[in-house]
Amino acid sequence: MDLSSKSKSKADTLPGGTTLRPRGRWGFVLTVVALAALLRFIFISAPLVRHSCMQAPPSTAAVCPQGSLLVPSKNGALWTDLTALHATTVFRDRAVAQLSAAVQIPTETFDNMGPIDEDERWMSREPFIEHLKGGVPASCRRHATLELQKVNTCGLFYTWQGSDTSLKPLLLMGHYGEYIYFLRRRALPYPLLYADVVPVAPLSADQWTFPPYSGHFDGESVWGRGSSDDKSGVIGIMMTIEVLLEKGFTPARTVVLSFGFDEEVGGPQGAGHLGPALLERFGPDSFAMVVDEGGTTGFSETFGAIFATPGVAEKGFVDVHMEVKTPGGHSSVPPAHTSIGILAALIVHLESNAPVSTLELGTPTFEMAACFAAHAPDIPLKLKRAILRAPKSKKALRAAEELLVQDKMFRAMVGTTQAVDIIRGGVKSNALPEQVAAVVNHRIATQSSVNATITRDAELVRELAARFNLSVTAYGELLTPALDAEAAATYGTLELSAPLAIEPAPITPSGRGAAPYALLAGTIKATFNAARKDAKSKEIFVAPGIMSGNTDTRYYWKLTPHIFRYNHGNFIRGIGGIHTVDEHIGADAFVEMVTFFTTLILNADEAEM
């Protein structure tokens, strides 16, 4: 067949208007080759020419998989009975009465409190401990059944012995003690870094809708300091056990309760002693899982969906103290830069070079973002695509990062933060200050470390210190000798120290095969569903979360790798005045906490973990 004769009068027009006029057999071959090359360029080599609507985002089927809600099977009838009880007004009023009475007992915590055997203010805890014993028969049975060990006077360690000693215990934590905001008076390395104990935000009754220790119930909420953080958690756990005992329940899996009393100031007197006591009694890696209160790691609405975000990680912490010393003298003959001016320049330099928040694969913050992308209907399409493509594209990861860190809260969670919170210096207007100091607080990202953080600070200030002819000592090591060869000595000194530091917590497993996480997620879903009459129209998704602050769990790392910071709090309408005036918690939200602890204990009792 003469292909050439049939194609002489025919012109082949390709995309883009290119016209090929083949000549003979070789002309046909060249036409096919040209077509293939052009199509390859359009669809493979030049993907940017395709419209974005042609690029469907990757499937979300394997991204943030959600298990089903988990309700007890062996104890299914008991669970059904208890959740029906929790829905009654009679039970709500009973729960409110116990929480209200607890709020009426001030257990104030101040920054400057000394050791428990030296500072009488700790004794405010005694009435609260007596309240936990209670006066009703059920409370008496609770304390007769549970073994109580007091640790460091006010730390409470309860053991509800299970029938099967082969099962690792479940550990539930909480704390009682409200934080009162006062300036610190500590024995710091710098004599200048102290102040008289004066209130920064005085607890004034006229700022509250109801008095701060009234425990007032207005028909909807219980009001008062500690109503949400964290007496509700402690009372919720104790009420759960009280009602289980009333129903005749005896656990197969041992349940341990640990209640600290100074979490708001770091927990050294409470959990700092309770953790070692638990380790001594049970040994390392001896618990199936630990659940502690988690600040605002309850559930809330994000991009049109409801998410619970139990904390599977916790940021680290370090305070970097900077002290500048320079010669004194009369202010009428000032140097070019006083010590205050030098310290101010150092602070500005730090803030101008703040740590950059970087989103990294495999971190809890990325996993949380992936859950938003997979399940939130209102997430912007551009952000969703970037997150879903990030595991296989660095460019997409950086695009997701750029969009996510625009949110102040997410930016704080994903990276190491710094905040200059304290500064001291100067005593008189006519005297040159000889010694000034500042404290820079860092919350350390899960992918970083204390050493990386303090080293970065030292390198930054070292650069600037040379301009002022300061010698630099960082964390006990002299970094620079005299800087000005023409000077007999350096003008002054800059000293850095880090007296208190905590590494980022080990990350709790939350992927496939992590039975404790799956149990917690299923429990959250079951609780959410049980507490709502319109549950069919609502759904809750569970995503790994992160604590930006620190909890008492820092003292419990050796007990288990499965530590969760979560209180089943409803934060859709806000955080209820935590750490400020008008702290309160809805009665229905508090009852839902009781349902959560009930479901958790019963689910854990029959779980394989």
Nearest to 584 by CA among 233, 206, 227: 227
How many CA within 13 A on the CB side of residue 425?
23
Residue 324's DSSP bridge partners are: 436, 494
User: Is 544 within 8 Å of 297 (Cβ atoms)?
Assistant: no
Residue 435's DSSP bridge partners are: 325
Query: Is the pLDDT confidence value at 372 over 80?
Result: yes
Q: Concatenated DSSP letters for 471-495?
A: EEEETTEE------TTSSS-SEEEE
pLDDT at 180: 60
pLDDT digits (tens, 9 = 90+) for 254-271: 999 999 998 888 899 999
- Token couple for 317: 């912490």
Query: Is the pLDDT confidence value at 443 over 80?
Result: yes
- Catalytic site positions: 196, 263
pLDDT at 458: 96
Helices vs. strands in the chain: H and E counts, helices first:
16, 23
State how far Cα 516 lies from the chain centre.
Answer: 19
3-state SS of the chain: helix, strand, coil percent to 5? 40, 20, 40
User: Is 105 within 8 Å of 131 (Cβ atoms)?
Assistant: yes
SS3 sequence of 27-94: HHHHHHHHHHHHHHHHHHHCHHHCCHHHCCCCCCCCCCCCCCCCCCCCCHHHHHHHHHHHCCHHHHHH
pLDDT at 138: 52
State how far Cα 504 lies from the chain centre.
Answer: 11
Whether residue 588 is annotated as binding a ligand: the answer is: no
pLDDT digits (tens, 9 = 90+) for 134-171: 744 455 555 568 999 999 999 999 999 999 999 999 99
pLDDT at 208: 81
pLDDT at 124: 87
Whether residue 175 is annotated as binding a ligand: the answer is: yes
Whether residue 592 is annotated as binding a ligand: the answer is: no
Q: Give the 3-state secondary structure of residue 281.
A: helix
- How far apart CA 62 and CA 64 sit, in angstroms, is 6
**What is the mean predicted confidence (pLDDT) over 479-498?**
72
605 or 573, greater pLDDT:
605
pLDDT at 479: 86
Q: With bands split at pLDDT 50, 70 and 90, how would you rate the model's confidence at 496? A: very high
pLDDT digits (tens, 9 = 90+) for 325-357: 999 999 999 999 999 999 999 999 999 999 999
Q: Give the 3-state secondary structure of residue 271.
A: helix
Strand-by-strand arrangement of the 147-151 sheet: 147-151, 155-160, 255-260, 170-175, 289-292, 563-565, 311-314, 545-547
Query: Is the pLDDT confidence value at 25 over 90?
Result: no
Alpha-carbon torsion, ordered 350, 474, 314, 401, to 10 deg: 40
- Token couple for 449: 């470390």
Q: Concatenated DSSP letters for 141-193?
A: HHHHHSEEEEETTTEEEEEE--S-TTSPPEEEEEE--EE--B------SSTTS
pLDDT digits (tens, 9 = 90+) for 178-216: 766 543 333 333 333 333 322 334 545 677 888 888 999
Q: Concatenated DSSP letters for 510-541?
A: -STT-HHHHHHHHHHHHHHHHT-TTGGG--EE
pLDDT digits (tens, 9 = 90+) for 37-60: 544 444 444 343 333 333 455 567
Whether residue 229 is annotated as binding a ligand: the answer is: yes
Most confident listed range (187-196, 421-430, 556-565): 556-565
Whether residue 292 is annotated as binding a ligand: the answer is: yes
pLDDT at 179: 67
161 or 491, greater pLDDT:
161
Q: With bands split at pLDDT 50, 70 and 90, how would you rate the model's confidence at 574? A: low
- Token couple for 276: 């070692």
**What is the mean predicted confidence (pLDDT) over 543-561?**
93
